[in-house]
Amino acid sequence: MATRCLAALLALPLLACGSDSLPSTSSGCPSVTCDGGSLSDGGEPTGTTITTTLGTTLGTSGVDSTATSSPDSATITDGSSETTGPFVEPSSARHTPRPLGETTSPQGYWEYLPPDYEQSSDHPLMVYLHGIGANGNGTTQLDRVLINGPAKLIDDDQWPYERPFVVLSPQHAGSGCTTVAEIQSFLAYAIDAYAIDPDRVHLTGISCGAIGAWDYLGNYFVDQITSAVLIAGDGRGALAYAGCALGQVPIWAFHGEDDEVVEPQGTIEPIEALLACEPTPDVQMTIYPGVRHESWHRVYDLSAGDDIYSWMLAH
């Protein structure tokens, strides 16, 4: 883990400290409306959440955000309660780089396996799609994937042992956003290669990764996945292409109200349009007042109280 952390620190100046600067529409993100540039999350107010929900109604009690272990126990706490179980190794010890060419995967990726992986063949699968700042060659640049999202939480030992997902984080090569074909191919590989339940496959992504995920949903719907959590993306292109059929997929979309990179309307317009469809689909959105582009931190670490992991597992 120390070697990976050092590599990540050395890469931070190049990656603008984990921010995601998006290309224009001519750079491979056909459905994005954005200004480019790189934003820091450091000074954003937390604010409150505004949630529009139809189909699935959720509580906001957080799942644990910190895991610590001793020689004979592991304790998970969310500040109000604790869950203690048998000793397990920290999450980073089960987080493994799979460089391009090592497996039959079309992309290099990071692999996290839950502690009971070997005892079951029906784990839920989560596939995380990074933003443009983590693009890389799938081999020597694979550590870039660790700058955000579930991949960062796992590598920082902030992923509870009780969270049952197999988590795979592929790296997009080249410029622009991950493509529909890439997502389809990686999901096909993952479903075949891992001991997972094909009826519990969940897709999540941030920024450019969320844009690619929206476009994927507009083409493949529920062919491979069960639900999607999309953060700071743009689904207007997918809506224009698929219309109300896009609502086949349970979607929880998030956006910062003051996002200067990807317009908040990229989330608001498609969700509002889907909520007007008949029958009303299982879609919802949360808009964070006063929050800029990097709204994903509060989503993935549950600090905003929006329990996406329980929501995924409920589908």
pLDDT tens column, 87-134: 578 999 999 999 999 999 999 999 999 999 999 889 999 999 999 999
CA distance 244 to 274: 6
Model confidence, pTM: 0.77
b/e sequence 56-91, b meaning 16+ C-beta within 10 Å: eeeeeebbbbbbebeeeebebeeeeeeeeeeebebb
- 301 SS3 class: coil
Please name the residue ranges forming H helices in 194-283: 208-220, 236-242, 265-275
**Domain 2-313 part of CATH 3.40.50.150:** no
Spell out the domain ranges in the chain. Answer: 2-313
Going residue by residue through the chain, which has 315 residues, state the pLDDT in tens, using 9 for 90 and above.
444 443 333 333 333 334 454 443 333 343 333 333 333 333 333 333 333 333 332 232 233 333 333 223 344 333 333 344 455 789 999 999 999 999 999 999 999 999 999 998 899 999 999 999 999 999 999 999 999 999 999 999 999 999 999 999 999 998 999 999 999 999 999 999 999 999 999 999 999 999 999 999 999 999 999 999 999 999 999 999 999 999 999 999 999 999 999 999 999 999 999 999 999 999 999 999 999 999 999 999 999 999 999 999 999
Residue 256 pairs with which residues in a beta bridge?
288
Provide the pLDDT for residue 89. Answer: 86
Alpha-carbon gap, residue 241 to 156, rounded angstroms? 39
Task: Tell me what pLDDT residue 87 has.
Answer: 57
Q: What pLDDT, on the 0 to 100 scale, is given for residue 120? A: 86
Q: Are 229 and 295 in contact (CB under 8 A)?
A: no
- Residue 20 is predicted with a pLDDT of 54
